[in-house]
Amino acid sequence: MKKEKKGAAAVRKPLSKKTGITIFTLIMLIMGVIIVCYHNPLADPADELLKKIIACVLIVAAIVVFARFYDKITQLPQELYANRRLIWRLAKNDFKRRYAGSYMGAVWAMVQPVVTVAMYFVVFQVIMDQRIQLAGKGVEVPYLVFLTAGLVPWFYFSEALTSGMMALLEYEYLVKKVVFKISILPIIKIIAATFIHLFFVLVLLIISACYGFYPNLYTLQVFYYSFCTFALVLAISYTTCSVVVYFRDLQQIVNIGLQIGMWATPVLWNIGQMSENVQMVLKINPLVYIVEGYRSAIYGEQWFWEDFYSTMYFWIITVVLFVIGTLVYKRLKVHFADIM
Residue 4's pLDDT band (boundaries 50, 70, 90)? very low
pLDDT for the residue numbered 279: 82
Q: Which long-range contacts (CB under 8 A, 24 or more apart) does 104-110 make?
A: 106/195, 106/196, 109/196, 110/196, 110/199, 110/200
- 9: pLDDT strictly greater than 50: no
Give every CB contact of residue 305 below 8 A, 6+ residues apart in sequence. 311
Closest CA to 320 of 292, 283, 286: 286
| CB-side neighbour CA atoms (13 Å) of 137 | 6
How many Å apart are CA 145 and CA 73, to the nearest integer? 40
Q: Write the DSSP assignment of 121-177 as a string of letters.
A: HIIIIIIS---EEE-GGG-EEEHHHHHHHHHHHHHHHHHHHHHHHTHHHHTHHHHT-
Q: Whole-model pTM?
A: 0.82
Neighbours of 191 (CB within 10 A): 21
- Overall average pLDDT of the 200-218 stretch: 88
- In this structure, the answer to whether residues 107 and 173 fall within a common structural domain is yes
- 131: pLDDT strictly greater than 70: no
- The residue from 8, 33, 68 where one domain ends is 68
- In this structure, the answer to whether residues 43 and 109 fall within a common structural domain is no
How many Å apart are CA 302 and CA 99, to the nearest integer? 38
183 falls within a domain: yes
Mean pLDDT across the chain:
82
78 falls within a domain: no
Whether the CB-CB separation of 133 and 226 falls below 8 Å is answered with no
- In this structure, the answer to whether residues 172 and 48 fall within a common structural domain is no
Q: Which long-range contacts (CB under 8 A, 24 or more apart) does 174-179 make?
A: 175/336, 175/337, 175/340, 176/337, 176/340
Q: What is the pLDDT of residues 299-316, one digit of tens each?
A: 877 788 888 888 888 988
- The residue from 68, 97, 130 where one domain ends is 68
Residue 99's pLDDT band (boundaries 50, 70, 90)? low
pLDDT for the residue numbered 287: 94
142 φ, ψ (degrees, to nearest 5): -60, 145
pLDDT for the residue numbered 7: 46
How many Å apart are CA 279 and CA 58, to the nearest integer? 21
Buried b (16+ CB within 10 A) or exposed e, 256-265: eebeebbeeb
- In this structure, the answer to whether residues 42 and 100 fall within a common structural domain is no
* Residues of the domain holding 114: 86-339
Q: Which long-range contacts (CB under 8 A, 24 or more apart) does 303-308 make?
A: 303/218, 303/221, 304/221, 304/224, 304/225, 308/38, 308/40
- In this structure, the answer to whether residues 47 and 156 fall within a common structural domain is no
Residue 3's pLDDT band (boundaries 50, 70, 90)? very low
What is the amino acid identity at position 253?
I
- In this structure, the answer to whether residues 91 and 215 fall within a common structural domain is yes
Total domains present in the chain: 2
- In this structure, the answer to whether residues 142 and 209 fall within a common structural domain is yes
Computed on alpha carbons and rounded to an integer, the radius of gyration of the chain in Å comes to 22
